[in-house]
Structure 1
Amino acid sequence: MSPRANWKGYLKVGELTCAVALYTAASTSDRVSFHMVNRKTGNRLNREFVDVQTGTIVPHDEQVKGYEVADGRYVEIEPEEIAAAVPESDKTLDIDVFVACSDVDDTFFDKPYYLAPADRQSIEVFALIRDRLSKDKMTAIASTVLFRRFRTLLIRALGNGLVASTLHYNYEIRSAIEVFHGIPKLKLEKEMLDLAGHIIQTKMGHFDPAKFDDRYEAALAELVKAKIEGRKVVKMNQPKETRSADLLEALRRSAKSPEKPAVGRKGAGSTRKAG
């Protein structure tokens, strides 16, 4: 079955325009999911909105969004008012600027989407934009109203198509200084740096997400299976942290230890490519 487009519109740069369709590139639907149930009856629970003051359940037609202006005081915003305030969509991904791939800070990446031609008449213009981005190692910054929000997207070539990633706004990204300011600068021994470099070289490989294991999901799946079968799951031991006094010796042992297959190791298999 052909994938269903989440959005259809036009990709525009200068006087070039082509019809495009946007498809979800990442999905969490295959993750292990749980429902809340009544421990006594085993029945599934429904979630209700309750008035925090009266304790009564509020029916759907009496619920409204509110913005807190003071402690316990809210200004109510009707759905029609929100809809009127959102910029109108002209269904156009208007490319504002091109930037080098090396200039992109992936901290700002939000959600990825695949971008493809929406009809046969658009294939040539689409291919022209795609191939030029690929050849020049450039990305395009575009903007449009997407899912009732004005969004900025970064568009880059991938195989036969394009990937459009929605971007966080600058105010949404916290400063790294808040987290990193307490990390002291250390002068490390040359032998330590050389040994660390050797370990890195022995584990060099290609980025191949097909080889990454979601251990959390696998553990949940095993837990569910064990519960169904009446078995107990043995908890894995947590790795011990390396102490500063043992760091050099740990590096020496790591450099001498037998080499293990790395994820996506060069020569271990071809990297999956789109297209």
Structure 2
Amino acid sequence: MLRTMWKGSIQFGLVYIPIKLYTATEDKDVKLRMLHKDCMAPINYSRTCSQCGKEVKNEDIVKGYEYTPGQFVMITEEEMNDLQGELSKSVEIINFVNLSEIDPIYFEKSYFIGPDSNQGLKAYSLLRQTIKDSGKIGLANIMIRSKQHLAAIRSYGSGMLLETLYYPDEVRNMADVPGLNTVITENAPKEIEIAAQLVGQLTAEFKPEQYKDNFRLKLEQLITDKVAGVKPVQKKGAPKTGNVVDLLAALEASVKQSKPRKSAAPRRRKTAGS
């Protein structure tokens, strides 16, 4: 059973649809604790004041903004709630756009949208079917954990999905990447031809179930073996990769390596007349 992480409504024109949001993805990373090497016990961390050195209790902690080094202005919870207003409980669809128009760099996190009550099922179903038939997605603003997000609402399976997006000013400028002004814009035709051939050979239908987090699986196995008292097998280090000197030769070798192996043709059985 998924846990509700947000509750409110979607405003579709003058129609209000009571909904709940559920986190659609989960972090599968293996969590490693920080231990004291001598005692093999977890390290405790306490919140202390950087000025007086005293440990601070949760009820004595407030939020503030550092407007100049060492100088802060305090922002109260009441002030934050006043700024959020009705946006904290409502998702108003402001536009409909084509999904293909949104660059993937803007996508942040996915949430399942579920109906909040039986009374809203008809409106929920209507919005889902309308979005699905239009082939578009709804753009809206939503407040999650004291932060406003741009959000995309789309049909997904038997329900709907809300995906938070970064605002344009949150996406950094590609021009700030060092070295881009020296990138070669013209490549040799032969190199382009071989590179395109390599792409063709590596092209496949996207089947998400065939991709695995191999590092996590190996780490889980290592932990299981250690708990069981099995000593890990020492493996040789990965071969070192040298600098690419001849780009064309490297591309040709890659094409040769990625070619699917042809299965041997079955031998014809001799018949009585052959």
Q: TM-score under structure 2 normalisation?
A: 0.81
1:69 aligns with 2:67: yes
Aligned to 1:257: 257
- In structure 2, runs of 5+ residues without a counterpart are 262-274
Residue identity opposite 1:22 in structure 2? L
Cα deviation, residue 90, structure 1: 6.2
Contact 1:154 1:166 in 2 (8 A): yes
Q: How far off is 1:214 after superposition? A: 1.4
Distance 2:165 2:18 in 1: 22
Corresponding pairs, count: 258
Q: Deviation digits for residues 42-86 of structure 1, max 9, x if unmatched?
A: 222221122334444333333332322322222233334433443
Structure 1, residues 127-185: CA drift from partner, whole Å, max 9, x if none?
Answer: 33223323332111012333333332111222212110111122221111111633423
CA distance in 2, matches of 1:130, 1:242: 52
SS at match of 2:247: helix
**2:203 equivalent to 1:204:** yes
**Matches of 2:57 and 2:104 in 1, distance apart?**
42
Residue 241 of structure 2 corresponds to 240
Kindly name which structure, 1 or 2, has the bigger radius of gyration based on alpha carbons: 2
Q: Tell me, yes or no, if the aligned pair for 2:19 and 2:114 is still in contact at 8 Å.
A: yes
Aligned to 1:8: 7
SS of alignment partner, residue 47 of structure 1: coil
Q: State TM-score, norm by structure 1.
A: 0.81
Letter in 2 for 1:16: V
Asked if the contact 1:226/1:233 (under 8 Å) is kept, the reply is no
Matched, 1:107 2:105: yes
Structure 2 CA distance for partners of 1:147 and 1:60, relative to 1, 3 Å: closer
Q: Amino acid of the residue matched to residue 57 of structure 1?
A: E
- Alignment match, 1:170: 168
**Compared with structure 1, are the counterparts of its residues 141 and 62 closer, same or farther at alpha carbon in structure 2 (3 Å cutoff)?**
same
Tell me whether 181-190 or 163-172 shows the greater mean CA deviation. 181-190
For the 8 Å contact 1:196–1:251, the answer to whether it is kept is yes
**Cα separation, 2, equivalents of 1:17 and 1:83:** 22
Match of 1:38 among 15, 36, 39: 36
Moved over 6 A (4+): none
Q: Residue 27 of structure 1 aligns to which amino acid in structure 2?
A: E
Match of 1:87, SS state, is helix
- State the AA in 2 paired with 1:42: M
RMSD of aligned C-alpha atoms? 2.6
